[in-house]
């Protein structure tokens, strides 16, 4: 979609019931309304039966409100929050396996150090690096390691959490207001 390309990336955090098919419902909604998911992460939380999603979608503020409103129409969605304009910690995780022969190992490890990444596996002809950080930081390390020869890489979806003291309890207390304001 050409319009989406010009729209900024927005980051949402959603709590959903941990039941079979819930991810399918959310994916189906995004597909049907032509919301293009750039990144999606789902995982468990400290509360039984509740999963937490972080997802990123190209959307303007209006579309963002409609995404929220449509997600709330799903019975299994507990809360949704657009945290784009909030102070938040936003992280990706990547594992990168690089072709590194013993004679260049020190050089590679120094690069890893510069990016505050970690070597998690060393083999005679390869090195596996773990990095967490923003997408920019991961791209930077990837570019630096590319001359060595990337053997494989895997990257998680983005996860995000707002900064400050407010936790889930405060957020769920605020849900009802979020719901009614979501239209305004």
Closest CA to 111 of 91, 89, 96, 90: 96
Binding mask of the shown chain, residues 56 to 95, with x at each position contacting other proteins by CB under 8 A: ------x--xx--xx-xxxxxxxx----------------
Q: Rounded to whole angstroms, how far apart are CA atoms 179 and 184? A: 10
Site for other proteins in 1-40 (CB under 8 A): 16-17, 21, 24-25, 28-29, 32
**Does the footprint of other proteins cover residue 169 (CB under 8 A)?**
no
Q: Rounded to whole angstroms, how far apart are CA atoms 66 and 29? A: 12
Number of chain residues interacting with other proteins (CB under 8 A): 27
Query: What sign has the CA pseudo-torsion 12, 66, 29, 45?
Result: positive
Binding mask of the shown chain, residues 95 to 134, with x at each position contacting other proteins by CB under 8 A: ----------------------------------------
**Does the footprint of other proteins cover residue 51 (CB under 8 A)?**
no
Q: Which residues pair with 86 in a beta bridge?
A: none
Half-sphere exposure of residue 54: CA atoms within 13 angstroms, side-chain side: 21
Q: Which is nearer to other proteins, 70 or 162 (CB)?
A: 70
Angle at 133 between CA 128 and CA 135, to 5 degrees: 95
**Does the footprint of other proteins cover residue 139 (CB under 8 A)?**
no
Q: Which is nearer to other proteins, 105 or 174 (CB)?
A: 174
Q: Which is nearer to other proteins, 61 or 114 (CB)?
A: 61
């Amino acid at each position: 979609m050409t319009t989406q390309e010009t729209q900024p990336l927005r980051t949402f955090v959603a709590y959903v019931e941990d039941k079979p098919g819930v991810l399918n419902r959310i994916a189906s909604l995004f597909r049907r309304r032509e919301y293009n998911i750039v990144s999606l992460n789902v995982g468990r939380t400290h509360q039984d039966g509740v999963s937490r999603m972080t997802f990123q979608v190209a959307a303007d503020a209006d579309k963002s409100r409609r995404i929220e409103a449509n997600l709330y129409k799903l019975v299994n969605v507990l809360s949704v929050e657009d945290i784009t304009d909030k102070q938040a910690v936003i992280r990706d995780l990547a594992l990168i396996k690089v072709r590194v022969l013993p004679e260049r190992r020190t050089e590679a490890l120094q690069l890893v150090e510069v990016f505050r990444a970690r070597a998690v596996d060393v083999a005679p002809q390869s090195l596996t690096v773990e990095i967490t950080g923003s997408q920019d930081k991961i791209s930077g390390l990837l570019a630096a390691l590319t001359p060595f020869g990337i053997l494989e890489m895997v990257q998680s979806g983005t996860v995000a959490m707002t900064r400050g003291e407010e936790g889930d309890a405060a957020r769920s207390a605020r849900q009802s207001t979020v719901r009614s304001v979501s239209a305004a």
